[in-house]
């Protein structure tokens, strides 16, 4: 019998503007560093910090190229205000143990109004802020233009699948 194990993810982007809400979504790629982070986490004595409430960050950037995304170590063109710690209580599983979605981990960061003014945001990375390791990377669709009056919430789901 041949068994398969896979990991997939998706991002949901919610932008609150003065004239309404704008929502976008896209799939992601678990990076090479992400594969190594997950293997390390399952080892007897992990050497890397996990992407958790203490170490997890979401990083925004303006340099999406689509080139060699599996090997990305973060955003191609990050900017300082685009780095945000995970919201309190995250990550968390989407479902309770033994129920639907108990294999989905949800990460969330919120950029409140007044915290970000940037045009052309088109890439996002889920990282370990302690080591800089990149668990996952994605293109932002649609591209986001943020004014200081806007808020932004990034919800990132990582799903573990076996068969």
Alpha helices in 21-141 (DSSP H): 32-41
Overall domain count for the chain: 1
Q: pTM to 2 decimals? A: 0.90
Residue-by-residue pLDDT tens, the chain, 163 positions: 565 667 888 888 888 887 778 888 888 999 999 999 999 999 999 999 999 999 999 999 999 998 889 999 999 999 999 999 999 999 999 999 999 999 999 999 999 999 999 999 999 999 998 889 999 999 998 899 999 999 999 999 999 887 5
Contact 15, 146 (CB under 8 A): yes
% of residues, the chain, pLDDT over 90: 72
SS3 112: coil
List the Cα angle 99/104/107 in 5-degree steps. Answer: 130
Q: Phi and psi (nearest 5°) for 2?
A: -100, 125
pLDDT of residue 155: 95
Question: Which residue segment(s) compose the domain that 16 sits in?
Answer: 5-162
């Amino acid at each position: 019998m041949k068994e398969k194990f896979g990991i997939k993810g998706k991002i949901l982007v919610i932008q609150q503007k003065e004239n309404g809400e704008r929502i976008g979504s896209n799939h992601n790629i678990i990076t090479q560093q992400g594969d190594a982070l997950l293997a390390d986490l399952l080892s007897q004595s992990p050497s890397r910090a996990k992407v958790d409430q203490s170490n997890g960050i979401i990083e925004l950037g303006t340099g999406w190229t689509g080139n060699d995304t599996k090997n990305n170590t973060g955003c191609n063109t990050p900017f300082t205000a685009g780095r945000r710690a995970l919201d309190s209580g995250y990550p968390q599983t989407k479902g309770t143990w033994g129920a639907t979605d108990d294999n989905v981990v949800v990460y969330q960061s919120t950029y409140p109004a007044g915290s970000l003014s940037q045009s052309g945001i088109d890439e996002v990375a889920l990282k370990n802020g302690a080591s800089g390791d990149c668990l996952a990377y994605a293109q932002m669709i649609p591209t986001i233009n943020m004014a200081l009056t806007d808020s932004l919430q990034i919800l990132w789901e990582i799903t573990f699948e076996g068969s």
